[in-house]
Structure 1
C-alpha cells in the first residue's frame, strides 16, 4: 500500500488523513481540537506549541505500519495568520489569526502611506483588511517592538507546519496572496507595501516556489518526532481555501466552491487574475498555478453556534427547529457579525436580531434566520462573480454546514443554483493529499513544464475527486422567489446599520 498524507490546520482543529491513492480511499484520519484566545477588542490568537502538540497527537494515533506507507505530505492551513519566529525558529509572540480584527488602526495607517484604497488595490489586487497578515506585522512592531527587533521568519500557519517538517523557509503564491504584502497579478512581493510597514521587512520575506514543487523533504528530527518516513517530499501546500479548491475539483474555469465553516467562503478557479475588492472579492492566487478570486465572511457557523448555545440546543435540535420555520424566517433577520466582518469591511461590526414582532418571536424563526444569514452574504459574492463574467453551473459545498440537508436547501434556494457535495468530507485535507501526490508525480518528471503541471492537476482531480449524488440539492422555484425578497430586506438592513460600525 502507498499513501499520501494531507494535513489541515484549521481554526478549531487540526486534521490528518492518509489517502491510498492507488485504491482511492482514505484509510485513516485523525483530528485534535485547538483552543482560541479571544478578547473583546477583536483579538483572536493561538500558540505555536498548540500546533506542535496537536500534530503529534494526530500522527501518534495512527498505526506505525500505516505511517510508513506515506510517500509525500501536503499541508493546508487557515489563511492570513501571522507566525513570528526568531532566527532559532522560536515563536516571538502568539499567532494572530485570520479573524483577529484588532488591527483596524494599522490597516488605516498602511493604506494612508500607500496613497489610499485605490492605490492599494492597484498594487496588491486587494484592500488592506484587518484579517490579512500585513497589518498584524505592523501591530507587532507597534505593540511589541522588542519582539519585532528579533523577527527573522515570517510564516503563515501552513508554512509553519512545512517549516516544522522540513526546516525550509519558503512560500507559494496561493497563501502568500492573502498576506496583503503580495502583488497577486505578478506573483511577487510588493516592496512598497513592505516599506510602508518597515524598511527591513522586504528582505525578511521568503522566496516563492511554484505550486507543483516540493518545499523540502521531511528532516530527521521531524521523522523521529512524528513517526513518519525521513526524506519524503512535502509539497508547497497552501491556504485552506486553496486546498479546498483542489479537494472539490475547482481547478478549472466554471466551478465554484462554497465553504460553510467558522468563516464562509466562495471561490472559483481562473486562468487570469481577477478581483473586485470593493465588492468583497479578493484577488488571490490558487495553489495550482492560476488564480482564485474569493469572497470571505468572518461569521458563518459562528452565528448558528452562538444562537444554538444561547438556546441550549443540540445540532439536530437546532436544525429541526429551523425547519419548522419558512423561507425568510417570517421576517426575522440575523445580522451575524459576532467577529466583526470582512465582507463588508466592518471590523467593529456587531451581531443583531431584527424584525421581531409579537407574531414571529420564536426560536424557530431565529434559528432559521441564523442559517439564512450565512448564505445571504455568499449571494453578494456570487453576484460579483457574475459581474466579472463567471457563469457558474453549480456550487460545490463543503464545511460543517454542508452536512445539514436544510442548509443545503437554503443555499440552493438563495443562490438559485444546484448544490453538489464531494464524496469525501474533508476537502482541505484531501486537497492537501492530492497536491502531495501531484508534487510526487512532478518530482518524478523533472522536465515537466508549468503548463503541463497545471494540466496534470486537473487530471488528478478528475481521478480522485468524486461527488455524493445522494446529496444533490436543487433550487425550489417557489422558495427562490421568497428568498429574492428576503435578500433585499437583508441588504437594506446592512446598509442602514453600516454607519453605526464605521
Structure 2
C-alpha cells in the first residue's frame, strides 16, 4: 500500500491528510493552527507555516498508526497570493502579506487605472485587487524598499513549503495565475509588469519560481528540513496548487458544475475548458489544478459574518442555524450587506457591513437569517457574474467548507438559487485535492484520472423551501452598491 500526504496550509491552520495511494481511503489526519489575523493588516510568518505543517504531519501519522517514513508522496496546497520573500541564504525577509491584507488597495487602484480593467483582463485573465501578489510587491517597494534590495526568491505560500521539502523554487499554473504577472493562457511570466509597477532594477526572471504542470513532480524530499520531519529522501513531491484549486480536485468538480466554498473567504467557482477574461473585475480567470481553467469569484466575508452574528446573539453555531431557519420570510425583512472587513469582490476595501430594514419588532431569528442571507446573496451575485463572463455554470451545485456544515447555509443557498444544493463526502476538500495530486505524481498518472477515480459520493441534497424574490434582491443590491462616507480608508493606524 502506497501512502500519500495532502497538505492544506490555509489562513487559519495547516491540515494534513494521509490517504491510501491506490483508492484514496483516508488513513489519518492532523491539524495545527496558524496565528489569527484581521484586515486591513493581515500578515503571517512563513516559518510558522512550516512549524504548523510539522505538527499537523506528526498528528496525522500518529492517528494513522504510521510513521513519516511510510509516506511515499506529498503535495502542498495553500492560501493564494501572499508573497514570500527570501534572500540568497533562504532567510525570510519579512512577514507575508496575506490575500486578505487590504493595505495595498491604493497600489491596486493605481495599477488598474494605468492599464485599465480590460488591459489587465486581457493580460492575465483578472483585474487585480489588493489580494493580488503584484499589488503587495508594489506596496513593499513603496514602503519598505530595502526589503527588496536583498530579495533572491519571490515565492507563494505553497511554493515556500515545497521549497523547504525539495530545495527547488517551483510553483504551479493555478497559483501563478493569481499573481498579476503570469499569463496562464500563454504559459509565460510578464516581468515587465514587475518592472513597471514594482522595481525596474531587479532581475525578476531570476527570482521567480519555475511553473510546473498539474501532474509534474517538483522533486524529492531531500532537504535537511524534510529529513527532520522523518521523510525518506525518495519521497516524491507534487507541484502543489492554490487552496481553492486543490479543493476543486478534492470535490471532483466536473464541467458545468458549480462549487460554493464557505470558509474564511467565500468562493464560487466552475471549471472551463477555455480561459475567461472578465473586465468587470468580478471574476478571476485563473487556471485550475488539472490543466484547464477555474473562473471564480472570491469574497473576503463569509463564515466570519455568521460567526460575528452568533457572538452578538450569544449563541453557538447550531443555535444560530436554528434561529435562522425559524425566521419568518416577510418581504420587508432585514437585509445585510456583509462587508464587515472591507471586500474583495466587489472591490471595496474600505467598506463596512450595513444592516437595513431594522424594525422595532425585529427578532433574533430575523437577525440570524440576515447574517446567512447577506453572505449568500453576495456569493450568488458572483455566480451570476461567472455566467455573464461566458463560463457555463448551470449544472449541479455543491457546497463545501466549514460553512457547509450549517443547515442554514445550505437551505439559504438553495432558496436564493431556487435550485437543489448538494453536499459530498468530503470533510477537507483542499487537503483531499492535494492528496489526489500526490497520488497522481506517485503513479506517473494524469491528475484528472485520479480526480475522477476518487470522486466523492453525494451525501445529501437540500431542496429550495422559500423563494427569495426580486424585492429582496432589489433591496440587497441597492444596499451593497451604495457608497459609504468613509470608504476608501485603508490606513494601518
Q: Fold match, TM over 0.5?
A: yes
Per-residue deviation at 1:152? 1.1
Residue equivalent to 1:51: 49
What is the Cα deviation at residue 346 of structure 1? 0.3
Shift of the 279–144 alpha-carbon distance from structure 1 to 2, 3 Å rule, reads closer
1:417-456 matches, within 5 Å, as: 417-442=419-444, 453=446
Deviation at 1:488, TM superposition (A): 2.4
For 2:369 and 2:115, locate their aligned partners in 1 and report how far apart those are by CA, in whole Å. 43
Cα root mean square deviation, aligned: 1.9
Q: Which residue of 2 aligns with 1:132?
A: 132
**Contact 2:296 / 2:386 at 8 angstroms: preserved in 1?**
no
Partner of 1:497: 483
1:201 Cα offset (Å)? 5.5
* Cα displacement string for residues 448-496 of structure 1 (whole angstroms, at most 9, x for unaligned residues): xxxxx3xxx3332222121233x211223xx12x344322221111122
**Cα shift at 1:394:** 1.1
More helix by percentage: 1
- Aligned twin of 1:217: 220
Aligned to 1:402, which of 401, 404, 407?
404
Give the alignment's TM-score, normalised by structure 2. Answer: 0.93
Distance (whole Å) between structure 1 residues aligned to residue 330 and residue 21 of structure 2: 44
The secondary structure found in structure 2 opposite 1:211 is coil
CA contact (8 A) 1:4 1:18 kept: yes
User: Partner of 1:271 in structure 2?
Assistant: 273
Q: Show structure 2 runs of 5+ residues with no match.
A: 489-493
Preserved CA contact (<8 Å) 1:59 1:227: no
Cα deviation, residue 357, structure 1: 1.0
- Please report the TM-score for the alignment, with normalisation by the length of structure 1: 0.91
Secondary structure of residue in 1 paired with 2:482: helix
How many residues of Structure 1 are paired with residues of Structure 2 in the alignment? 481
Aligned residue in 2 for 1:7:
7
Q: For residues 373-421 of structure 1, what are the alpha-carbon distances to aligned partners after superposition, in whole Å with 9 as ceiling and x for unaligned?
A: 1111111122123331514221121111111122111111112232111
Change (3 A) 1:223 1:92: closer
TM-fit CA distance, 1:363: 2.2
2:461 alignment counterpart: 472
Give per-residue Cα distances to partners, 1:127-179, cap 9 Å, x unaligned: 12101111111111111122111111111111111111111101111011111
Counterpart-to-counterpart distance in 2, 1:329 and 1:240: 38
- On the 8 A contact 1:184/1:283 being kept in 2, the answer is no
The counterpart of 2:284, out of the listed 279, 282, 298, is 282
Conserved? CA contact 2:117–2:280, under 8 Å: no
**Cα gap change, 1:144 to 1:249, in 2 (>3 Å):** same
Change (3 A) 1:431 1:328: farther
CA–CA distance in structure 2, aligned partners of residues 329 and 148 of structure 1? 54
Q: CA deviation at 1:25?
A: 1.6
Could you tell me how far 1:441 is from its partner in structure 2? 2.1
Indicate yes or no: 2:195 matched with 1:205: no
* SS class of match (2:310): helix
3-state DSSP of counterpart to 1:421: strand
* Separation (CA, whole Å) in 2 of partners of 1:385 and 1:328: 30
CA distance in 1, matches of 2:291, 2:301: 29
Q: Which residue of 2 aligns with 1:383?
A: 384
222, 242, 247: which is aligned to 1:239? 242
* Residue deviations 1:276-322 (CA, integer Å, cap 9, x gap): 24151111001111111110011001211122222332111221222
Local SS of the residue matching 2:72 = strand
Alignment of 1:99-498 (within 5 A): 99-112=100-113, 114-196=114-196, 197-199=198-200, 200=202, 202-203=204-205, 204-250=207-253, 252-278=254-280, 280-327=282-329, 331-360=333-362, 362-387=363-388, 388-442=390-444, 453=446, 457-469=447-459, 471-476=460-465, 479-480=466-467, 482-497=468-483
Please say if residues 36 and 45 of structure 1, whose CA atoms lie closer than 8 Å, have aligned partners that are also in contact.
no
Asked if structure 1 preserves the Cα contact closer than 8 Å seen for 2:71 and 2:231, the reply is yes
